[in-house]
Every structure is written in structure tokens, then in C-alpha cells.
Amino acid sequence: MKNRYMVVLLIFLSFFFISAYILHSESSSTQTYENTYWFSIFYNDRFWKVNTLGKIYDLYEDKETEFVPILTGLSVNESLGIVEGAALRYVPSKIKEGIFEINLAEKYITTYNSAIVYVTDITDIPVCINALSLTWRYLDSNVSYLFKNGKIYKIKG
């Protein structure tokens, strides 16, 4: 009879300790941020990586040169380490190939071949990026273009 009570007590204690461990591990989980690269910014004379949450998470080395796309025209909250701006919501989560710089304040996009494409409305930026992913190779270097109503017009150059 005594052995039976010991077996029941051991089973009860094992369930108790296992459940206490599971509850403790769930309550003590820390917040982790996934550093999925979104874009780069130039701030304090350095290039920084920004993740998909808008948090600055890494610094480019001096010898690193692959830091495109670059977003400009944004403000940086130094105390929180995040990039802020109302226009940030218009930047797609995956920026296509061919885009070198997106200036949200001046509303233009620069391609790899130095063509500048202005947009009339900040809400046209995602559509323009999709169009440029197919056409940036065919734009002339150092020429200004205008993206309006889904079309790219040559305005200067």
C-alpha cells in the first residue's frame, strides 16, 4: 500500500514540476526582433541597416559597398533606435531590384543607372517601384522622368 502511494506521489510531483517549468518558460520569454533587412539609411555619416519593423539594427562596415536601397527624407528617433515617417507606410516590404534610392521627402526614386523618376503623389511609390523593376534597364542615365497614371514620361535630359 505504501508503494502505491509513493508511485502516485511521484507521478503527481513530476506533473507539477513539468507544468511549472512550462509556465515559467512561457512567462520569461523575452522580446526578440527578427532582423529581416528592409532598406538602408545614411545617418551620422554612416550607413545603417533597417529591419521590417523600422528598427535600426546594424551598421555597415567602412569597406562594405552593397547597401542599396537607400531611403532618404526620414527622421530617426535616436532614443528608440527607429526610423519614423508617415510616408514609410508607402514603402513596400520588398523593394525590387534596380532601385538605388527612394527619397520620400522630395518624392523621387533613383535607379541603379542614375535615372531619376519623380512621382506626383507619395501613394504612387509602390506602383512606380513595380514599374521600375521591369523598366529601369531601359531608362537613360542622368535623365529625369515623371511617373504619372502608371506611365513614365521623360521630362528632362
Which tens digit of pLDDT belongs to each residue from 70-107?
898 888 888 888 888 888 888 888 888 899 999 999 99
Q: What is the C-alpha to C-alpha distance for residues 157 and 115, in angstroms, rounded to an integer? A: 10
Tell me the pLDDT band of 11, cut-offs 50, 70 and 90.
Answer: confident
Tell me the pLDDT band of 118, cut-offs 50, 70 and 90.
Answer: very high
- What's the mean pLDDT when you consider all of the chain? 84
126 or 67, higher pLDDT: 126
Looking up cell 509513493 gives: 6
pLDDT in the model for residue 67? 60
pLDDT in the model for residue 34? 65
> Is pLDDT of 30 > 70?
no
Burial state string for 83-95 with b = 16 or more CB within 10 A and e = fewer than 16: bebebbebbeeeb
